[in-house]
Amino acid sequence: MSSRLAIIKNFLRFFRCSCGGRIRPSIVFFGEILPESQFLKAEKMVLNCDLLLLIGTSGIVQPAPNLPSLAKETGVRIIET
Ligand SMILES: [Zn+2]
């Protein structure tokens, strides 16, 4: 185990639920399926925004690249870093 991984695991052991289970961040890890309700919510937000900021994404891993495509189709302005 790399020292960096050991440090992260040691740090995460402090984040436990009252039931003893692990608490994880509210994110989707690589390889996990994005919950459909969350993606529908994101689509709705894109359709109702004036400006879409694309920050820190490769734009490759699906289904995220669909969001800027949707924005372009509907005329939403996009700023990409
Ligand atoms: Zn719990």
What is the tens place of the pLDDT at every residue in 8-22? 777 777 788 889 888
Residue 47 DSSP one-character state: H
pTM over 0.85: no
> Cα–Cα distance between 71 and 38 in angstroms, integer?
17
What's the rounded mean pLDDT across residues 66-74? Answer: 93
Question: Tens digits of per-residue pLDDT, 40-49?
Answer: 999 999 999 9
Q: How many CB atoms lie within 10 A of CB 71?
A: 19
72, 47 contact by CB (below 8 A):
no
Of the pLDDT bands very low, low, confident and very high (cuts 50, 70, 90), residue 1 is low
Distance 39 CA to ligand 1 centre (A): 25
pLDDT of residue 22: 81
Distance 19 CA to ligand 1 centre (A): 4
Name the CATH superfamily for 3-80: TPP-binding domain (3.40.50.1220)
Distance 18 CA to ligand 1 centre (A): 6
Distance 2 CA to ligand 1 centre (A): 29
For 17, 37, 39, the CA distances from 44, given in Å and listed in that order, are 32, 11, 9
* Between residues 9 and 52, the one the model is more confident about: 52
SS3 (DSSP) at 3: helix
Distance 49 CA to ligand 1 centre (A): 35
Domain ranges across the chain: 3-80
